Amino acid sequence: MSSEPNWDEVNQDKESKKLAVLEHIKSRCTSSSEIDDLRTINSYLSNGSEINIEILTGGLANYSYAVSCEDIKIFAKLSFPFAQLFPDKPCPLSRTNNEYTMMKKFNSLNPSLVSTPYFCDDVGDDMKLLVTQYSPIDEQFGNQFIDGSVDKRTADKIAEGLSRLHLKETHIDELQFNIEMKPWVQSLTPILEQILDNLYKADNSNRVAVLAKQLGKDKTTAALHAYVSTIDESECLIHAGKSALVLFYPCTFVVSII
């Protein structure tokens, strides 16, 4: 079982990596860039404007930042070969390349529905930097999910996007898409079992624990067993990115909805 990270150290690390993220993005902001936002930032910088970077909330498997210059704002996510919650479990960086690939595919199916992906580059020896258009939604959807709230504007667009994705023809070679993530996902089953057990502790009164206690341990255990029995399947949209069609982690995917 992985131990809880030292969150003070995580926050310090997130802060220390801001410069590397900012410098790499600046290097991509050229007058010849194919991306409008990056060309505009280059123009602003050439005229003496400053570029700023702000740490965003979340990021257990990555660090996320908002980068801005004058009226232009872009989203940046720096990922590593592990997740902060499970640093002893290797999590391949190919997931970030695949996320970029799927964002492009999703964007081509329904232009303007999701934030446009700009680039996905290597940073240092063991990091990936994904940069996209910044979503103008009021709150990150991952936070909405945690809070138990629903933004109907966002929900409608997610439904529209998923329906278009389901209508897309799937090729047999796509069944191997992001297969590198399978060992990591499989390794989390004992952790999920522990999380379920913790829901039944007497002093746990959060809304998920309340729901679990209403359902009863037999039903939550059955749900976990059903999950484990299908963990290697590749025929549907799923959280962990093993699907033939899509790799989005929920917070990344929905945060990109415009």
Residue 68 placed within a domain:
yes
Domain span at residue 27 reads 7-147+246-255
C-alpha to C-alpha distance for 117 and 100, rounded to whole angstroms? 7
Compute CA distances 168 → 25, 82, 171, 244, whole Å: 33, 32, 10, 12
Strand intervals (E) in the chain: 52-55, 62-69, 72-79, 117-123, 127-133
pTM score, whole prediction: 0.77
C-alpha to C-alpha distance for 250 and 253, rounded to whole angstroms? 5
User: Taking a C-beta distance cutoff of 8 angstroms, is the pair 17, 129 a contact?
Assistant: no
User: Taking a C-beta distance cutoff of 8 angstroms, is the pair 77, 100 a contact?
Assistant: no
Residue 208 placed within a domain:
no
pLDDT tens by residue, the chain, 258 residues = 456 677 788 888 888 899 999 999 999 999 999 999 999 999 999 999 999 999 886 567 789 999 999 999 999 999 989 887 778 888 899 999 989 998 888 888 777 677 899 999 999 889 999 999 998 766 666 677 777 777 777 777 778 777 887 787 767 667 777 888 888 888 888 888 988 999 999 898 888 899 999 999 999 999 889 888 888 776 655 554 333 333 333 333 333 343
Residue 70 placed within a domain:
yes
> How many structural domains is the chain composed of?
1
Rg (CA), the chain: 20
Compute CA distances 64 → 49, 55, 58, 74, 122, whole Å: 23, 6, 7, 11, 16
Residue 153 placed within a domain:
no
C-alpha to C-alpha distance for 141 and 51, rounded to whole angstroms? 26
Kindly report the CATH number assigned to the domain that includes residue 12.
Answer: 3.30.200.20
Residue 115 placed within a domain:
yes
C-alpha to C-alpha distance for 203 and 214, rounded to whole angstroms? 15
C-alpha to C-alpha distance for 34 and 15, rounded to whole angstroms? 30
Residue 136 placed within a domain:
yes
C-alpha to C-alpha distance for 8 and 3, rounded to whole angstroms? 15
Q: Which of 76, 84, 93, 59 is nearest to 21 (CA)?
A: 76
pLDDT of residue 244: 30
pLDDT of residue 3: 60
Residue 178 placed within a domain:
no
Residue 126 placed within a domain:
yes
